[in-house]
């Protein structure tokens, strides 16, 4: 079955970096994209960006430009999200999700399979 | 960043129909598809509705989505206890930032 397995919880100090992995299985990795969404404690969902597993193209949320990098390793069907210069308000659960993007009667973009999430805690 | 506005809460008794609204401007809902995600307590979000009113395989037909102008709505008919969750609408935003925006979220309680 289609599955996304994320790496384990992380605790980081302010100013450090974190890299979260997301290993896909059960489908052709390069036929879809991978999106990242985070959720701060008790808060709503925040879109972080996407990466095409086909060609590596990325689109990052303007708020995170310059601090986030999304990559993929097609040999292992794994996606990565690195966030640098961590601050306390980066404390959140980080989700990866398989995404579909394209055009029919309009532009469509959505996430149909989600990982279980990785908790990242930023604390001194 | 654009925000899609949802009521913070909604409730109903088992068997009732509950409707959740989602509204914003023309740069997102007005010109793009709307999606709905369900997040059960302590779990990852799950796709509930895509392209305004389409249900993925496995989603019960008790859930339906609609869109009109710059507003969208999710209806849950025949409410069940397992529907108690947070629900988020989402849409692509065509403004300069070109971001995907989520709604503020609605907590549905089954009384």
Q: What is the DSSP string of A16-81?
A: --EEEEEEEESS-GGGSEEEEEEE-TT--EEEEEEEETTT--EEE-GGGTTTEEEEEETTTTEEEE
Q: Residue B16: what pLDDT?
A: 97
Question: Which chain B residues are Cβ-neighbours of A62 within 8 angstroms?
Answer: 1, 97-99
Q: Residue A104: what pLDDT?
A: 85
| pLDDT exceeds 70 at position A26 | yes
Q: Which of B8, B44, B94 to substitute to test the interface with A, most A CBs within 10 Å? A: B44
Which of A59, A95, A107 lies at the smallest CB-CB distance from B44? A95
Angstrom distance (rounded) from CA A17 to CA A84: 4
Task: Report which of A5, A1, A38, A8 is spatially closest to residue A116, judged by C-alpha positions.
Answer: A5
pLDDT, tens only, A29-79? 999 999 999 999 999 999 999 999 999 999 999 999 999 999 999 999 999
Angstrom distance (rounded) from CA A22 to CA A114: 10
Give, as one character, the DSSP assignment of residue B79.
Answer: -
> Going along B24-105, which residue ranges are E strands?
34-39, 46-49, 63-68, 71-76, 85-92, 100-102
Q: Residue B26: what pLDDT?
A: 58
* pLDDT values of chain B reduced to their tens digit, one per residue, 111 residues: 557 899 999 999 999 999 999 997 556 666 789 999 999 999 999 999 999 999 999 999 999 999 998 899 999 999 999 999 999 999 988 775 668 999 999 999 999
Angstrom distance (rounded) from CA A115 to CA A54: 20
Q: Does A62 reach chain B within 8 Å, measured CB to CB?
A: yes
Task: Report which of A13, A15, A7 is spatially closest to residue A84, judged by C-alpha positions.
Answer: A15
User: What's the gap in Å between the CA of A45 and the closest CA on chain B?
Assistant: 6
Give, as one character, the DSSP assignment of residue B4.
Answer: B
Contact B32 A107 (CB under 8 A): yes
Contact A44 B44 (CB under 8 A): no
Report the pLDDT averaged over residues A20-37.
98
Q: Residue B102: what pLDDT?
A: 94
Long-range Cβ pairs for the range A83-86 (8 Å, 24+):
A83/A17, A83/A18, A83/A120, A84/A17, A85/A15, A85/A17, A86/A12, A86/A13, A86/A14, A86/A15, A86/A16, A86/A17, A86/A18, A86/A120, A86/A122
Angstrom distance (rounded) from CA A93 to CA A118: 5
HSE, side-chain direction, 13 A CA sphere, residue A76: 10
pLDDT, tens only, A104-123? 888 899 999 999 999 999 99
Which of B32, B46, B90 lies at the smallest CB-CB distance from A106? B32
User: What's the gap in Å between the CA of A76 and the closest CA on chain B?
Assistant: 23
Q: Residue B27: what pLDDT?
A: 62
| A to B CB pairs, distance under 8 Å | 62
Which of B56, B88, B98 lies at the smallest CB-CB distance from A45? B88
Contact B105 A116 (CB under 8 A): no
Q: Which residue of A has its CA nearest to B51?
A: A108
Q: Residue B25: what pLDDT?
A: 57
């Amino acid at each position: 079955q289609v599955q996304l397995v994320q790496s384990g919880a992380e605790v980081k100090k302010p100013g450090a970096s974190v890299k979260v992995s997301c290993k896909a299985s059960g489908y052709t990795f390069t036929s879809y994209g991978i999106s990242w969404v985070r959720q701060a404690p008790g808060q709503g969902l925040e879109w972080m960006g996407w990466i095409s597993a086909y060609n590596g193209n990325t689109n990052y949320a303007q708020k995170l430009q310059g601090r986030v990098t999304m990559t993929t390793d097609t040999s292992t069907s794994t996606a990565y999200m690195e966030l640098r210069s961590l601050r306390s308000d980066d404390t959140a659960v980080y989700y990866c999700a398989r995404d579909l993007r394209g055009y029919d009667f309009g532009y469509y973009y959505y996430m149909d399979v989600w990982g279980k999430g990785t908790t990242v805690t930023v604390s001194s | 960043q654009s925000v899609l506005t949802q009521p913070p809460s909604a409730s109903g008794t088992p068997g009732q129909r509950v409707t959740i609204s989602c509204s914003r401007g023309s740069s997102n809902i007005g010109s793009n598809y709307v999606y709905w995600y369900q997040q059960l307590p302590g779990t990852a979000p799950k796709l509930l509705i895509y392209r305004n009113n389409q249900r993925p395989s496995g989603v019960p037909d008790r859930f339906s989505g609609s869109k009109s102008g710059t507003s969208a709505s999710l209806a849950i008919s025949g409410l069940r206890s397992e529907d108690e969750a947070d629900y988020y609408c989402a849409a692509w935003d065509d403004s300069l930032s070109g971001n995907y925006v989520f709604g503020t979220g609605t907590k549905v309680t089954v009384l």
